[in-house]
Structure 1
Amino acid sequence: MLVPRAGRYELQARIAACHLEASDAASTNFARIAELYDALAFIDPTPVVERNRAVAVAMSQGPEAGLRLIDALVTSRGMEDYYLLPATRADLLRRMGRGTEAATEYEKALQLAPSEAEKRYLGKRLAETRR
């Protein structure tokens, strides 16, 4: 365990600090963020924490690694209506060049999205994927 004595809020603060310290997404230390999410998942093993960990893994190790973690969450109880799960799957599939599968996931996410802003964003990504 990387940070065994750190509590949930300290870990969340460290994750936020990693994002704030980076000047842009490309310079974000996603490997460190994934390690922090590993520690957070140990003390707060929620599906949302696991989804965020999968994103950090995808950013540091590639979309295939992240997709394996996301796929393990697809059957998690309580995640059926969580629009960010299919949205994340869609993004990873798109980055892997699997456009047809990505479009299907964007459609699922679009149906579940809670706000008009999210629906517009996902609709735009869906249209881009279908091209």
Structure 2
Amino acid sequence: MDRAPRFAAPGPYVLQATIAILHAQAPTARDTNWPAIAAVYAQLLAVTPSPVVALNHAVAVAMATTPEDGLALTDRIGGLDSYHLLHAARADLLRRLGHADEAAEAYRRAHEHLTGTRRAQ
């Protein structure tokens, strides 16, 4: 990994490994270098665009900057409406912003998509 930053254009595996290393280097969750992780996710998104990478980038941005920034990115992601982790991430961001009712609804949607159940309307 010491040589990876010298590559002119690192591929997706080098970028994924870099993200894993950045997480592993943090002695505690609070010490995680979120700005660096968000920057590497931005590179990964450019190399391997996908809704899941976009979601991971949005979460990293929220941790590096503000929940508002992460939520704005999350709300622009298409193709993941049935993905429970999209709704769980939105729920957490909404909760952190103090939007309890919206967060609760997003948590319900995450649970529904995870379990395949729908509540009665």
TM-score above 0.5: yes
Cα separation, 2, equivalents of 1:108 and 1:32: 31
Which of these residues, 18, 21, 25, is aligned with residue 25 of structure 2? 21
Provide the residue aligned with 2:15 in structure 1: 11
Provide the residue aligned with 1:97 in structure 2: 98
3-state secondary structure, aligned to 1:72: coil
- Alignment-mate amino acid for residue 94 of structure 1: R
TM-fit CA distance, 1:80? 2.0
Provide the residue aligned with 1:33 in structure 2: 37
Same amino acid, percent of matched pairs:
45
Runs of 5+ consecutive residues of structure 2 not aligned to the other structure: 117-121
Would the alpha carbon gap of residues 104 and 23 (structure 1) be closer, same or farther in structure 2, given more than 3 Å must change?
same
Cα separation, 2, equivalents of 1:47 and 1:31: 20
Provide the residue aligned with 1:127 in structure 2: none
Work out the number of aligned pairs and report it.
Answer: 111
Please give the root-mean-square deviation of Cα atoms over the aligned residues, in Å.
1.6
3-state secondary structure, aligned to 1:113: helix
Cα separation, 1, equivalents of 2:8 and 2:68: 28
Cα separation, 2, equivalents of 1:25 and 1:92: 17
Cα separation, 1, equivalents of 2:48 and 2:29: 26
Cα separation, 1, equivalents of 2:52 and 2:28: 24
Cα separation, 2, equivalents of 1:5 and 1:109: 36
Cα separation, 2, equivalents of 1:82 and 1:50: 13
- Alignment-mate amino acid for residue 45 of structure 1: P
* Greater helix fraction, Structure 1 or Structure 2: 1
Which of structures 1 and 2 has the bigger CA Rg? 2
Runs of 5+ consecutive residues of structure 1 not aligned to the other structure: 116-131
Provide the residue aligned with 1:50 in structure 2: 54
Structure 1 runs of 4+ aligned residues shifted over 6 Å read none
TM-fit CA distance, 1:114? 5.1
- Alignment-mate amino acid for residue 18 of structure 1: L
TM-score by length of 2: 0.87
Map 1:106-117 to 2 at 5 A: 106-113=107-114
